[in-house]
Structures are given as structure tokens and as C-alpha cells.
Amino acid sequence: MATETTTSSAFVQGRGLSKSFGHVRALQDVDIDINEGEILAICGDNGAGKSTLTKILSGVHQPDKGELHVQGQAVRISDPHRARELGIATVFQNLALVDVRDVASNLFLGREPVRWRFFVDRRKMLADAQKVISDLRVNIPSLTVEAGQLSGGQRQSIAIGRATSQNGRIIIMDEPTAALGVKESRKVLDLILRLKADGNGVVVISHNMRHVFSVADRILVLRRGRLVGVKHKGETTPDEIVKMIVGVDIL
């Protein structure tokens, strides 16, 4: 069994994580370390266990076996709310934006600031939304434009902004560039690099080797639910990672 190199300073550490659905072993004895100020790419073919691992880290699924530590403390991530409390925020591939709500409303969906106990404090929400957008340094035409009118890259930026505004110190992104063109992908990749520069840990699940090698510091490879290995970007090549993913030599 391949194991992740122990990193005592890891913000999130998982050891021996396993998960089955009926007779299907989706994840088997997987180790993972996630550090602040670093980008970790998780790669693997369909059915490799990427989604299951992501959902365990984000509190959607509970592992059948294994341990999770956050900042050195053993934790049970019982649901996504608990994950956010621990500083782990996830941007799933569907983004979970409400197209008919504006940018500010989507950034604080379910967390709207209120005044007099019942009324949404629209002025505060707009001010807080402006700070989130300014901190991310992304170009959004207006905080009051509906999310459905934004480009793919802008929508991705809003979803990332929501994650960072939810106490996210570790941001997990599931295929963040999968539905984007070249220019929009570059903007999202630049945003990921800025998140790292600001001290956040970023986990990127991706099939795109060019994107992986343009941003990742380390690359973790899963195959059929098992950890194949973890490579530092400077010590490997796209061809080697593909071989690890498929389990055969590429001619």
C-alpha cells in the first residue's frame, strides 16, 4: 500500500481512510496531508475514489475506517457545516449557485446578515460582498447582477468567494476548469494561485494534466480506490502521472 509522507504541520491529515457502498470499495486505506500555503492536486480516472475522498473531507460522507486530524486534533467531520467550522470549504462541480439571485446573495446564501432579528441587512451584505470580491481580485460587473448572467469563470469565482468567506482555510475544488474555455480557465487558475499566495491550502481535483502542472505543488494519484503515490511536481512529469493513473506504460 502506498502511503502519504507524514507532515506534522499538515492542517488536515487523513490516515487509513476507507469507504464502501454496499459491496463496492470506493476508498481503501488512503492517507492524505493537506498543508496551508500549498496546492495539492488529486488525480485519477473515473471510479478512482476522488469524489469519495473529497466528500469525506467535506463532511458529506463518513469514513468506515481511518482517522482525520485537523490542526493536530482528532476530529469527526459529521457534515459540511462541521467541515466549515474546522476551516474546510468545498466548491463542488455544480457550484450550487442560484441563477436568479444576485452576486451578493449567492456569496452569503444561507448566511445573510440580518438586522432587527428578521430583516436581511442588504447594505451590510453588499459591503461584505465587495470586500470578498476585492480580496479575490476578480472582475465582476456588478454585485447586483444575477448569477445566471455571469460567465463560467465569474460563476466559479463567486463559488470560490463563498468558500473563502465561510472561514475556509483549506479550499477543495472539484474540476474547477472542466466547463471553461482557455481564457476563463486561466483566470480561475490564476485565482487558485492567489489563494495559495494568501496562505490558503487548495485541493484541486482535475483530469487536466496541463492545468495540474501549472498550479500544483504536489500531486496525489488514486486508482481503484487506493493511493498509488504522491509526487512533488518538480520530481515528476505528466507522462509519469498518467502512467500512475492508468497503471500501465504509455507508448
* DSSP annotation string for 189-228: HHHHHHHHHTT-EEEEE-S-HHHHHHH-SEEEEEETTEEE
pLDDT at 213: 97
pLDDT at 95: 79
112 in helix, strand or coil?
coil
List the Cα angle 247/216/87 in 5-degree steps: 110
pLDDT at 166: 81
pLDDT at 229: 95
pLDDT at 73: 94
Cβ atoms of 202 and 41 closer than 8 Å: no
Mean pLDDT within 176-204: 91
Q: Which pLDDT band, with edges at 50, 70 and 90, does 119 fall under? A: confident
When comparing pLDDT for 168 and 226, which is higher? 226
CB atoms within 10 A of CB 193: 14
Q: Computed over its alpha carbons, how large is the radius of gyration of the chain?
A: 18
pTM (predicted TM-score): 0.88
Q: Which pLDDT band, with edges at 50, 70 and 90, does 171 fall under? A: very high
Cβ atoms of 160 and 195 closer than 8 Å: yes
| Average predicted confidence (pLDDT) for the chain | 90
In the chain, alpha helices (H): 50-57, 80-85, 103-107, 122-136, 152-164, 182-197, 209-215, 238-246
Mean pLDDT within 69-83: 94
pLDDT at 136: 84
* Cβ contacts of 27 within 8 Å, gap of 6 or more: 17, 18, 19, 49, 52, 53, 56, 63, 225
Would you say residue 3 has pLDDT above 50?
no
pLDDT at 247: 85
pLDDT at 226: 96
CATH fold label, 1-87+201-251: Rossmann fold (3.40.50)
Residue linked to cell 444576485: 102
When comparing pLDDT for 31 and 5, which is higher? 31
When comparing pLDDT for 28 and 181, which is higher? 28
Length of the chain: 251
Mean pLDDT within 45-49: 92
Residue ranges per structural domain of the chain: 1-87+201-251
pLDDT at 118: 80
Tally of CA atoms within 13 A in the half-sphere of 65 that contains its CB = 10
Tens of pLDDT, residue by residue over 123-157, are 998 999 999 888 888 888 899 999 999 988 888 88
Q: Across the chain, how many H-helices and E-strands are there?
A: 8, 12
